[in-house]
Amino acid sequence: MEKLSVRLADSVEKTCQKAINEITTEVLAAREHLLKGDADGNDFLGWVNLPEDYDKEEYSRMKADVARLSAKSKVFVVIGIGGSYLGARMVIEALQSEFASLVRGSKPYVVYAGHTLGEDYYSQLLNLLDHEDYSVAVISKSGTTTEPAVAFRIVKAHLEKKHGKAEASQRIVAVTDARKGALHDIAVKEGYPMYVIPDNVGGRFSVLTPVGLLPIAMAGFDTDRLLQGARDMRKVCIESNTLEGNPALKYAAIRNVLYRSGIKVEMLVSNLPNLRYLAEWWKQLYGESEGKEHKGLLPHSLSITTDLHSMGQYVQDGERLMMETMIRVKEPATHVPVPTDEQNLDGINYLVNKSLTEINNCATEGTIEAHLSGGVPVMEIGVERVDEYVLGQLIYFFEFACGVSGYTLGVNPFNQPGVEAYKKNMFRLLGKPGF
């Protein structure tokens, strides 16, 4: 397997080593809980075996549907919120061109709905869909979430008006519960192809089910490689019970040690703009899993060097409450040289013959040094490159570490009771019967 590594900056490691040794027993016990399923939330551990243990017949059916829908779609609308869209968006945005909306390839361009209630967003989406051949995936585990339900009603009405009901039902697929929920019932009645989110897989752990795989495949990316990366990382996480052999355990141990030392915020940092949705997905995974009982690191993110010109001052000099977890990618997919300019009016000829990656890496090294000297602990997660395989590794790594970290923190990482509070108030304000 290509290596994914976790490394704590030397100066921080020196001061934390004793605490890391002490927490190791707890981290190993947390790993055992995940593997044995003997702690709170054990009815939501289906993701642990997902990359091996998935419905192969459904997966082949999904590929056939992807081929059928791709042939008639320039745009693919993914309707979902939270765990029902962030994983797909993370992988797609990491792999597609930053300019994919303007430079369309042969595969459908994925747009998102159901993650917002902004009215102008929907009028702009409908304007786009007026002129594009499109198909739709509506994704909701519960099948009752308001935001995707409203979005689906709007998009379904548009599609039916455009093509008629019969053709519209050939262009819609539903990903939802196998037996219950409003979306399940609509899909059965309208005859949409259906894909199942297993009962024992929660939304934020569902990217390796059709929730993530279907949109990722529609965007033209290789879901076999994604699953292979996740499978290989699972093997490491399942088989190794040492911090040095198992990067997920090391990451979980370090973040809990730093939390106990008084750190309140973890910033996931990357120097590649295409990883911004990795941070969004990670924020949901860790925020919803650990933010309970007034505990947990607040997940935040930074993009280098962009945010050094906005947040850099605070990180360097503001209140000392944060740590940084840097995603370091060894190789970019392509190279762009800095051209020579004889006049050198901009004074940057000293950069000629250096690749942008060298320049970016020097900026990142400089940032790490500066932040360490400013009292911000820095940890690095190193990967070879950004492709389907590595993203599969990262997905499983962060999921496994999240389960271990949550149990080490002393919470149930697999529920989300806090998410219900706003819904009750919203339903009351909207006059929903029973509220």
**CB of residue 206 to ligand PA5, shortest distance in Å:** 7
DSSP 363-390: HHHHHHHHHHHTT--EEEEEES--SHHH
Rule CB under 6 A: say whether 193 interacts with ligand PA5. no
Minimal distance, residue 317 CB to ligand PA5, in Å: 35
Q: Which is nearer to ligand PA5, 147 or 266 (CB)?
A: 147
Which residue, 422, 412, 407, 203, is CA-closest to 293?
Answer: 412
First to last CA, the chain: 53
Look up residue 312 and give its two tokens: 């850099």
d(CA 268, CA 278): 9
Whichever of 41 and 202 has its CB closer to ligand PA5, that residue is 202
Among 198, 202, 215, 247, binds ligand PA5 (CB under 6 A): 202
Nearest to 198 by CA among 394, 49, 400, 39: 49
Which among 280, 288, 388, 399 is annotated as catalytic? 288
The piece of 199-207, 251-259, 274-282, 385-393 that touches ligand PA5 (CB under 6 A) is: 199-207
CA–CA distance, 386 with 233 (Å, rounded to integer) = 15
Q: Return the residue of 46, 51, 193, 203 that touches ligand PA5, per CB under 6 A.
A: 203
Active site residue 309: yes
CB of 142 to ligand PA5, least distance (A): 3
Cis peptide upstream of residue 144 (ω within 30 degrees of 0): no
Closest by CA position to 407, among listed 261, 287, 289: 289
Whose CB is nearest to ligand PA5?
Answer: 203
Q: Which residue type, as a one-letter code, is found at position 13?
A: E
CA dist 236 and 51 (Å) reads 13
User: Pick from 31, 184, 204, 371: which binds ligand PA5 (CB under 6 A)?
Assistant: 204
Q: For the segment 279-308, give every residue that binds ligand PA5 (CB under 6 A).
A: 288
| Six-digit token string for 319 | 């209140």
Q: Is residue 142 at the binding interface for ligand PA5, with CB under 6 A as the rule?
A: yes
115 binds ligand PA5 (CB under 6 A): no
Strand order in 172-176's β-sheet?
109-113, 75-79, 134-140, 172-176, 194-196
Cα angle: 264, vertex 268, 270; to 5 degrees: 150
Under rule CB under 6 A, residue 140 binds ligand PA5 = yes
- E strand or H helix at 358, and its extent? helix 356-373
Nearest approach, Cβ of 359 to ligand PA5 (angstroms)?
A: 38
Is 288 catalytic? The answer is yes
Strands 378-383 and 5-8: antiparallel
The minimum distance between CB 152 and ligand PA5, in angstroms, equals: 11
In the set 309, 319, 335, 342, the catalytic residue is: 309
72, 235, 283, 423: which one is catalytic?
423
Using the rule CB under 6 A, which residue among 145, 209, 270, 325 binds ligand PA5? 145
CA 275, CA 383: separation in Å to the nearest integer? 13
From the CB of 21, what's the least distance to ligand PA5, in Å?
Answer: 34
Between CA 102 and CA 93 the distance in angstroms is 14
In angstroms, what is the minimal distance from the CB of 426 to ligand PA5? 13
Q: Report how many residues bind ligand PA5 under the rule CB under 6 A.
A: 15
48 binds ligand PA5 (CB under 6 A): no
Instruction: Select from 196, 174, 115 the least CA-distant residue to 150.
Output: 115
Nearer to ligand PA5, 202 or 215 (CB): 202
Cα separation, 43 vs 265, in Å, equals 29
**Interacting residues with ligand PA5 between 357 and 416 (CB under 6 A):** 416
Residue 159 to residues 130, 323, 373, Cα–Cα distance (Å): 9, 47, 57
Specify the stretch interacting with ligand PA5 by CB under 6 A; choose among 54-62, 200-208, 272-280, 323-331: 200-208
Structure tokens at 76: 């693919």
Closer residue to ligand PA5 (CB): 149 or 267: 149
We find the least distance from the C-beta atom of residue 137 to ligand PA5, in angstroms, to be: 12
Contact 260, 379 (CB under 8 A): no
148 binds ligand PA5 (CB under 6 A): yes
Tell me, residue by residue from 70 to 99, as one string, x for binding to ligand PA5 by CB under 6 A and - for no binding: -----------xxxx---------------
Dihedral angle over CA of 126, 131, 133, 137, nearest 10? -10
Minimum CB distance to ligand PA5 smaller for 223 or for 289: 289
Measured from the CB atom, the residue of 393 and 416 that comes closer to ligand PA5 is: 416
In the complex with ligand PA5, the residue whose CB is nearer, 232 or 290, is 290
- Write out the catalytic residue numbers: 288, 309, 423
Which residues of this chain interact with ligand PA5, rule CB under 6 A?
A: 81-84, 140-142, 145, 148, 202-204, 288, 416, 419
